[in-house]
Structure 1
Amino acid sequence: MAPNDIPAADLETSADAAVLEQLHSIRQSIDNIDAAVVHMLAERFKFTQQVGRLKAAHGLPPADPEREREQIQRLRALAEESHLDPAFAEKFLNFIVAEVIHHHERIAGSTAEDRAS
């Protein structure tokens, strides 16, 4: 363990109250942002579910590579403007898009089953 790597359980005995209060405050901000990210992702998935149902109803493919390329370019630019690593933003979007496509495939499958019945 490096000299500055203090186990969390030992923080209270090794840091003064002001540092601990600041640490708690920063972590609370992180927790709030994490909650907002989860809520925003839930909202995003509500809309992508609508897209999936619309695509399935009209026989469109679950994936749209051109749209995905446009989104990657847009998010990379936003990341650069926000001083965030564009490669990280792209990986994050790719993860989300893969999940969206999976949802769209399931929707298309269930729509096809409904038509067959």
Structure 2
Amino acid sequence: MTDQPTNSAASSLDEVDDVVRAELSSLRESIDNIDAAVVHMLAERFKATQRVGRLKAEHKLPPADPERERDQIMRLRELAAGAHLDPVFAEKFLNFIIAEVIRHHEAIARA
């Protein structure tokens, strides 16, 4: 019997070839850059939705717009499919964002 782990997931990065380690590092750097871009894009999106929330509050419009939300979900599912991203995941992601936007709009309306 050897002392080497039989499950590759159990092996540490120290046991990985330098070429693999370099590729992993490069991929992770790209992922980190994408994550940063996503955060900045979400920040810009929420700046715009805050303005929408203020406009809705000023004109006594409801915080939620189910027709718009439905259209956006359909649009995003189509975009996801075209980008080879699971449309179900894209819909869950957008639903999470929509829920947060509505929460912000409700808070603005109460202020």
Using structure 1 for the length normalisation, give the TM-score: 0.88
Corresponding residue for 2:36? Answer: 35
Instruction: State how far apart, in whole Å, the 2-side matches of 1:60 and 1:30 are.
Output: 39
Q: Gaps (5+ residues) in structure 2? A: none
SS of the residue corresponding to residue 5 of structure 1 reads helix
Change (3 A) 1:2 1:61: farther
Partner of 1:61: 62
Measured in 1, the distance between the counterparts of 2:63 and 2:107 equals: 9
State the partner residue of 2:22.
21
Structure 1 runs (4+) greater than 3 angstroms displaced: none
CA spacing shift, 1:47–1:2, aligned 2, 3 Å? farther
CA root-mean-square deviation: 1.2
1:84 aligns to 2:85 (yes or no): yes
Unaligned runs of 5+ in 1: 111-117
Provide the residue aligned with 2:7 in structure 1.
Answer: 3
Secondary structure (helix, strand or coil) at the match of 1:67 reads helix
1:16, distance to aligned residue in structure 2 (A): 1.3
Report sequence identity in percent. 67
Superposition deviation, residue 4 in structure 1: 1.3
Q: CA deviation at 1:6?
A: 2.8
